[in-house]
Structure 1
Amino acid sequence: MDTPDGFKAELIRGKIVVSPFSALRYLRPMRALRKQIEAHAPKGHFAETSPFLFSFPTAERAYGPDLFVADEASFGEEGRHADGAALSLVAEFTSLSTKDADWNEKLDVYGRLVPVYLVVDMQDSEITCFWDPSPHGYRSRTTVSFSEPLHVPEPFDFAIDTTGF
């Protein structure tokens, strides 16, 4: 799907949702987070902020995360949707237009499959790490304010420095 300049599209509950790209002030925390995560990514996985869609067939949804870590081998296929099972981490940076989906719909879908989900709440200046997915959603979570370190569990096992967020 071709979107207007400055917008991205995601498939949420069978509907195409078009939202604007992130505000300029999001670049520094996104870049800092990507660099830190990339240094600790599992072997064969890479961290990226490029706009790619990941499908979750059991939930009939596809999301284009703000930042993701995925198995590089999953990008050798034809098509426009990567398999959500290739993800080892997803991070969403909240905005007024996406905050509800980041905290609810995406949390529910990611919580059944993706090992680590980070919600970078730009409005409340906090970052939350969810981990230990199950058929009922994530079993564990930790929230810290920006400027405090946040531990990211296996398969990453390191602390994010959030002072620049």
Structure 2
Amino acid sequence: MTLMLERPTISGTKHPGFEGLLDTLDELNVPAGYKAEIIKGNIVLSPWSKGYYTRVMKLVCDQLEPYLPEGHLISQAPQLFVFPGVERAYGPDIHAAHEQTYETTGNHLHGEGLSFVAELTSSSTRDNDLTDKVKAYGKADVPVYLALDMQEEQATILWTPSAKGYESRLTVPFGEKLSIPEPFDCPLDTAGFRAPKKP
């Protein structure tokens, strides 16, 4: 098993398999300020978002909420979604799913209930957000994935999930409008997604 913070650190233990990783994740004492996910057969710890990411996540949620499919909820609450078919467990920054997905006393939610996910990249998560998660969310049949590249200040919407990831994608710079496809079929204004100016 590999436990990753900012830089990979090999733990030296025998690989326990996906279910074993989920058990380890449950028992893990995650340091304050970090979240834990399972990516590429490893438990990966990444730091919580920068302060202004909260503003961006709220803007996304507020704009999409009126267009949610019936019975779906959208949230930026920390939740772990499990994708056994691709052996991944992610805590997306924003997630929309049918309300029944959240009706559990467990802390592992079923990824197949998702209708939308969004990830806001950081320097430590950017590579996984733009590569591994694109493939895994698409293979898991999540209809829409929004990747907000906070370093390059651009938004990429991915849809038409397939075994390769996603068949369709469109990228625009922050400040432009982006069309969110079905099941939302609505515009997303990316004005207000940029970082605050440094004093």
TM-score class normalised by the smaller sequence: over 0.9
Which structure 1 residue ranges, 5 or more long, are not aligned? none
SS in 2 for 1:88: strand
Alignment partners' CA distance in 1, 2:40 and 2:131: 12
Provide, for residues 46-105 of structure 1, a one-character-per-residue CA deviation record: whole Å limited to 9, x for no partner: 111111111110111100000010111011123211111000000000000000000111
- Greater length-normalized contact order (CA 8 Å, ≥ 6 residues apart): 1
Q: Which residue of 2 aligns with 1:144?
A: 172
Q: Which has the larger radius of gyration?
A: 2
Alignment partners' CA distance in 1, 2:98 and 2:31: 29
Within the alignment, does 1:25 sit opposite 2:55 as a pair?
no
Q: Which residue of 2 aligns with 1:79?
A: 106
Provide, for residues 16-51 of structure 1, a one-character-per-residue CA deviation record: whole Å limited to 9, x for no partner: 111110011212111101111112111111111111
TM-score for both structures, normalised by structure 2:
0.80
1:57-72 alignment runs, 5 A limit: 57-72=84-99
Provide, for residues 126-153 of structure 1, a one-character-per-residue CA deviation record: whole Å limited to 9, x for no partner: 0000001012221100111111000001
Which structure 2 residue ranges, 5 or more long, are not aligned? 1-27, 194-199
Within the alignment, does 1:116 sit opposite 2:144 as a pair?
yes
| Identity %, equivalent residues | 49
| Structure 2 CA distance for partners of 1:59 and 1:23, relative to 1, 3 Å | same
Cα RMSD over matched residues? 1.0
How many residues align? The count is 165
Alignment partners' CA distance in 2, 1:103 and 1:157: 23
